[in-house]
Structure 1
Amino acid sequence: MDLPTIVELTRCDSGENEQACIETLDRETAKTGVDRRWWNDLSPTLTSPDVEPDRHWEWRVIVSKFQHKPYFQSKCVKTQDGLIQAAMLFRVDAMSALDAGKRAVFVDRLATAPQNREALVKAPRFRGGGTALLLYAVAQSYSLGFEGRVNLFPVANKHFYTERGFQRTDVAEGEDVLFELPAATAIRMLNARGLIDA
């Protein structure tokens, strides 16, 4: 299957769709497009940016650490103006927590640009960047023969993931609980987006 690289985001001000691309997030792009821009170009906020769980993530450092490891990939959603609207780091060598012995994609980090967060800024720009990257991870899992299984530790918005069908598992790291998208739900998601046939 072809992985989705052209996606549609929704402009929050007009409700119109705008095409964006999913691209590889390299170290330099992470430095200039995420670390230098995301937290410095914010419109007026509703709450303090310091309470955001990813506020102190240094994407350049994260991407640098994993860029030469074969099981890791980093991706971003970039709009036509060249700005990064969401970013993700994932690995393709994980195991399922719901189906013993089955493989899964593990999303290590996923974040939307702060200017797109409705709970943070008064006038968010786009919706759909995080969802597009999550769908990309599901499609990657399916293309590798993992039936679309994806797991992650939701650091901020558990509701975002449970709304999309992720289930709580029995796996935990400290207080963080692993959530997983089951294969049947993943296949329905891919089918609904026209990425696979029923």
Structure 2
Amino acid sequence: MCCRSSVLKYPAVPRREFTHPFCFDTNTSFMTSILRDLKAALFNLSTKQIELCEFDELDRESAKSLSAHWQKPNWWDETDAVERQNQPDYTWNWASFVSNRVLNRPSGKAVCVRSDDGIIQGAMIYELGVKSWLNPIEKTVFVELVATSPANRDILVREPRYRKAGLSLLRYAMIHSVEVGLRGRLSLFPIANQKFYTSVGFEETAQRSDELDVNLYELSTAAATMHLKQMGVLS
């Protein structure tokens, strides 16, 4: 399973509804400590070993280092100068996304995965309480943006460092979904590597973004439960 090209873009006018992000279900409040102590299980391609890495809040200052045109050094410095122009997230301004979609929204969240050397290996911005398309009476966690580090993509570097940063971030969102009473449901618009999301358990819906030329995908409670059991979060 590879998620090196797993990048998403938020549509211009999505249909959505919000819930308060801290309306915890009484049966899921125990998840708070699990989310806080959760580690990202990344596969180190050099050592062929799993490394447990830290999840961290993606603040505006950290987000600046992910944008190719904001500051030096950044995520893209050591990548192929030609091929990176073709990556959907090359022009993303992560600092602006954090300001507009997280700091100005109580329901917006931003998280990243850092390896032991402090380098960000993947990042994600998501929103709590967005209307489900598979089941309109329910709500989901909508993953607005997610990307693995360019240094982890075969097409950009000769020796990628890690795998599974994208999957780890999605599993983090699943747990947060459970934590706020949304039962693990996620939704997103995959603008690259749709097969990866299908392998994770996402289902394609009929809701389409004309701007992105892709349909909305959703992860059901049943699919999320399988992941949480694999992680040992649920028995």
State whether TM-score is above 0.5: yes
After superposition, the Cα gap between the structure-2 partners of 1:168 and 1:46, relative to the gap in structure 1 and judged at 3 Å, is: farther
- Deviation larger for 73-82 or 118-127: 118-127
The offset of 1:70, in angstroms, is 0.2
Q: 2:60 corresponds to which letter in structure 1?
A: R
Is residue 186 of structure 1 aligned with residue 221 of structure 2? Answer: no
Specify the alignment match of 1:156 in structure 2.
192
Specify the alignment match of 1:195 in structure 2.
233
Question: Structure 2 matches for 1:48-197, cutoff 5 A?
Answer: 48-66=83-101, 67-174=103-210, 175-197=213-235
Is residue 29 of structure 1 aligned with residue 66 of structure 2? Answer: no
Secondary structure of the residue aligned to 1:180 is strand
For the aligned residue pairs, the C-alpha RMSD in angstroms reads 1.5
The runs of 5 or more residues in structure 1 that have no matched partner are: none
Secondary structure of the residue aligned to 2:201 is coil
The runs of 5 or more residues in structure 2 that have no matched partner are: 1-30
The offset of 1:159, in angstroms, is 1.1
Matched length: 194
Q: Percent identity?
A: 36
**Scaled by the length of structure 2, what TM-score is found?**
0.79
Is residue 20 of structure 1 aligned with residue 53 of structure 2? Answer: yes
Secondary structure of the residue aligned to 1:13 is coil
**For the Cα contact (< 8 Å) 1:46–1:119, is it kept in 2?**
no
After superposition, the Cα gap between the structure-2 partners of 1:121 and 1:46, relative to the gap in structure 1 and judged at 3 Å, is: farther
Q: 1:190 corresponds to which letter in structure 2?
A: L
**Scaled by the length of structure 1, what TM-score is found?**
0.93
**For the Cα contact (< 8 Å) 1:47–1:120, is it kept in 2?**
no
Secondary structure of the residue aligned to 1:9 is strand
Match of 1:39 among 76, 81, 95: 76
The offset of 1:5, in angstroms, is 2.9
Higher strand share: 1
- Deviation larger for 182-191 or 102-111: 182-191
The offset of 1:97, in angstroms, is 1.1
Distance in 1 (CA, whole Å) between partners of 2:156 and 2:192 is 12
Superposed CA deviations along residues 18-55 of structure 1, whole A, max 9, x for unmatched, are 221111100001113x224111133xx49711111101
